[in-house]
Structure 1
């Protein structure tokens, strides 16, 4: 059975969206991977090798992260990012997807599920963000100050990539040079900080309890027991508000579950999807 890797960018809503598409020659269910805040498709590097053997897999860098565009005209809201990703999927002629989102990518996955239940068959939320309010008005107003992006750069660089990784990975022995380089690379140019400044300005509050309750899509929630970024309490609350959901807790695991427990995450996803009756594109 032949499998092809297609990489590229598509101009969507005035910004380039970078994607990696592992496509089988035969019909397979299509999984859409959406990374978290300050990350990229790199964060799925240990999970994709498992997924691509069984499914078509698309991993996308949502703006302004990874290899996607950092346009200073793009609206960096959940709503616009979600709609842009849906447009990318349509450009690639895909009609049905399972969304798999990590952290902020989980919230974008929920947004897509809420906006387009006609195309989302299942959702998998890996330590998904939830219930965040929008940035406070003083910070939003400050984002209009000239060169504010340099302050954003300074704020993010204070702790450094290695310290940030220690905060999201429970087993610090996993942090090696490859991981450090992969998570550092996107931040070596200033344009990303201009995009992040606009994200501060545009990011709306996350889906409310009522909006979550409107989502009928089957959802699987996978959480790290020791998640210090999005605590397990958020996962339990999402599990209550999403009417058709299951929650799995991984022991001795932090926030970065695709890096820490890729085999276990794959097995749980595969078991979850096998219970469903897929309708291929």
Structure 2
């Protein structure tokens, strides 16, 4: 089984995504930050590795990034709500439910807002050095689904105390500090990232 490249139409625009499908009902969606795209996950073999735990795995280029066309409706940079709307439409287009959404950096707000807005579609959220969360701070206490918060102790983009704040506001969250890593734990120390995610998922 191989990772596949795909293109679909969402909201009248082309969306490119990578997929590793096992044909079951459990799904991961891997988001990227504002400086990367879906292939950042392919470089660490994330789709296949997570897929082999028994999941279908999808890594879209968010609208306006990589090979996906710009669509103002989903401009997540201006609003986590718009990003969450894209996740919902992407999931419905592919008939996906039971979503575990990984949101690094600026996509963290999208992942958390998706859990808030679409609890019927989502199973959990995993955020890494979360940016874009301050817009929805007053909504974090609504989250009841499990959330894993990963933060590098050497993150010089977003201080680690932000992660502690989010953990305090989300009763269902787990906060893990990763020693010696910066803002992009998944790229800097992928083995540690995978181990933490697998432990989290196995305990759900």
* TM-score normalised per structure 1: 0.66
5+ residue gaps, structure 1: 133-205, 277-281
Task: Find runs of 4+ consecutive structure 1 residues off by over 4 angstroms.
Answer: none
- Rg larger for: 1
Number of equivalences: 198
Q: Is the 8 A contact 2:63 2:74 kept in 1?
A: no
Give the equivalent residue in structure 1 for 2:187.
Answer: 259
Deviations 1:97-142 (A, max 9, x none): 111110111111011111101111111111111554xxxxxxxxxx
Deviations 1:225-269 (A, max 9, x none): 100111111111111011100111111100011111111111111
2:179 paired with 1:247? no
Q: Is the 8 A contact 1:47 1:258 kept in 2?
A: no
* TM-score normalised per structure 2: 0.90
Q: Is the 8 A contact 2:25 2:96 kept in 1?
A: no
> Quick check: 11-20 or 94-103, which moved more?
11-20
2:49 paired with 1:50? yes
Q: Is the 8 A contact 1:32 1:57 kept in 2?
A: yes
Give the equivalent residue in structure 2 for 1:19.
Answer: 17
Give the equivalent residue in structure 2 for 1:203.
Answer: none
Q: CA RMSD in A?
A: 1.7
Greater fraction strand:
2
Q: Is the 8 A contact 2:10 2:93 kept in 1?
A: no
Deviations 1:176-220 (A, max 9, x none): xxxxxxxxxxxxxxxxxxxxxxxxxxxxxx202x30000111001
Q: Which has the higher contact order (CA 8 A, sep 6+)?
A: 1
Give the equivalent residue in structure 1 for 2:68.
Answer: 68
